[in-house]
């Protein structure tokens, strides 16, 4: 038997297919009473990364996107997110009056 670098596997040792992973995540969502999909988790993780101050360029590399434009499509930011981020990182914060 060939040694594989499998992170998640079935009880029989075979790798979990993407379809099987999708089904597991949907079942978890169903038990929690929400619609849950792998791509929703990817979008949510990307948005969380940015909200916590992560770099969009680093996120682009993590997600494997070729452009920042594609990465921006993953982010679900509100106007309040923009205000909060500006307040945190604005150069005007350093001005002493």
**Model confidence pLDDT, tens digit, residues 5-20:** 777 788 888 888 889 8
- Domain contains 60: yes
pTM recorded for the entire structure:
0.66
* Distance, CA of 77 to CA of 62 (rounded, Å): 19
Residue written as token pair 């992973």: 21
Domain that holds residue 30: 18-83
- Among residues 41, 38, 11, which one has the least CA distance to residue 22? 38
Say if residues 59 and 71 touch (Cβ distance below 8 Å): yes
Total domain count for the chain?
1
User: pLDDT for 37-65, tens place per residue?
Assistant: 998 998 899 989 988 888 889 999 999 99
**Six-digit token string for 44:** 């949510």
Number of H helices, E strands in the chain: 5, 0
- Domain contains 3: no
């Amino acid at each position: 038997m060939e040694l594989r670098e499998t992170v998640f596997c079935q009880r029989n040792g075979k790798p979990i297919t993407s379809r099987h992973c999708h089904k597991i995540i949907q079942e978890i969502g169903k038990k929690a009473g929400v619609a849950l999909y792998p791509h929703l988790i990817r979008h949510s993780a990307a948005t969380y990364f940015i909200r916590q101050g992560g770099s969009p360029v680093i996120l682009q590399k993590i997600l494997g996107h070729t452009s920042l434009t594609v990465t921006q499509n993953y982010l679900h930011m509100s106007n309040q997110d923009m205000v909060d981020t500006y307040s945190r990182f604005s150069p005007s914060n350093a001005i002493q009056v």
